[in-house]
Amino acid sequence: MEDNKKIKATAAKAKNEKTNKKDKAKKSKNKKAKNSEKSKAYASIKYLTKEGMRNLYARKAMSLTSIFVLFSCLVLIGTAIMAVVNIDNFIGKVQDQNVIMVFAENDITDENLQKMKEDIEGVSNVKETIYISKEAAYDELQINMEDSAILFESLDENPLPDAYEVHLVDQSLFSKTVIELSSIENVQNIRENRQIAAQLLTIKNVMTYISIAVIAFLLIISLIIIDNTIRLTIENRRLEISIMKSVGATNWFVRWPFMVEGMLMGLISGLLALLATSGIYLSARHSISRFISKLNIGGLVPYGKWALVLLIVFVAFGVIAGAVGSAVSTARYLKEKESVKNE
């Protein structure tokens, strides 16, 4: 009995080992097949990518034309973006100068003056509070009215009250903030110019809408020009496409070289546009800053702060526009060809 059990156990073990070997062989075969498919796919992508790069170099005239068109559009877009940034910066600085003066009552104690400051800073839209003592205000008034110094000789005491210069976070809440400040205890009166605040806000909103519309218009024009340029390229290479389709090439096999070509043109255009925009901006900055400095609102925004943003925008837009434009144009061309063939 024991011998029979041992024989059966040995046979079962041998059978399991044989099954495991078959499973391993099958898995190994499947793995090799998958690796082979991946290798073929990689080889195809590598070949088609090289083909797209070769086509870019082989057709220099058409490639340079496409690059120049896309480059010109990107320079215009970059210039518009920097104009928007600087306009927003200028209006913001002018708004910062439009402060609210909160005057305290004449007989206010130091304790109540401190509490008044805390109440002002407690208003949600208050960005900064600067204390201006009545002595400092009086001295500044005498300096500003130096030609009329005789007027101050008749004064027995300082008639000016203590005050706080209040800077706001959001100028669109100017009127609401004035109302909140007026309700604070020990406030004698408030000097403000909400009309200027409203006008500045209107100008800022109008300029923002106009700038967005201009940039959107330039983007649409860019896409239309890219589409037309790539369609011309495809038309010039229709014989090559027909040969590829006649030997059984798939649509993606036909599209990929064009997409690579479009992406490379977009990348080159983006890098050139960044250099051109940089040159234009830095050249204009010196002469414009000299004029702006007279307005006491600072100079142009440093280009270095926006160089990386523009690089990302230019390269991303150029590559995406080139790839999508090529893919769409090629797909449209292939669809038209199939329609003609079916008829």
Query: DSSP per residue over 165-207, as a string?
Result: EEEES-GGGHHHHHHHHHTSTTEEEEE--HHHHHHHHHHHHHH
| CA angle in degrees (0–180, nearest 5) for 218-224-225 | 85
Same domain membership, residue 212 and residue 156: no
Cβ neighbors of 210 (< 8 A, separation 6 or more) are none
Same domain membership, residue 138 and residue 108: yes
Query: Is 184 inside a domain boundary?
Result: yes
Query: Is 174 inside a domain boundary?
Result: yes
Query: What is the residue whose two structure tokens read 């890219």?
Result: 226
The parent domain of residue 90 ranges over 54-94+199-342
Cβ neighbors of 304 (< 8 A, separation 6 or more) are none
Same domain membership, residue 254 and residue 205: yes
Same domain membership, residue 293 and residue 232: yes
Residues of the chain whose pLDDT is less than 70? 1-45, 47-49, 51-53, 55-58, 142, 144-156, 226, 230, 289-299, 337-343
**pLDDT, tens digit, for every residue of 190-211?**
887 777 777 777 887 888 788 7
- 220 three-class SS: helix
Same domain membership, residue 236 and residue 327: yes
According to the model, what pLDDT value does residue 48 have? 64
pTM: 0.63
Same domain membership, residue 308 and residue 234: yes
According to the model, what pLDDT value does residue 25 have? 58
End position of a domain, from candidates 170, 192, 214 = 192
Structure tokens at 243: 């040969």
Same domain membership, residue 139 and residue 103: yes
| CATH, residue 159 | 3.30.70.3040
According to the model, what pLDDT value does residue 171 have? 78
Structure tokens at 49: 């990518």
According to the model, what pLDDT value does residue 40 have? 57
Same domain membership, residue 336 and residue 260: yes
Tell me which residue of 224, 247, 214 sits closest to 328, measured CA to CA. Answer: 224
CA 95/CA 203 separation, integer angstroms: 11
Cβ neighbors of 94 (< 8 A, separation 6 or more) are 200, 297
The domain total for the chain is: 2
Same domain membership, residue 87 and residue 107: no
Same domain membership, residue 204 and residue 329: yes
Measured CA to CA in angstroms, residue 315 lies from 111, 217, 227, 235, 312 at distances of 60, 19, 18, 26, 5
According to the model, what pLDDT value does residue 149 have? 55
Same domain membership, residue 333 and residue 248: yes
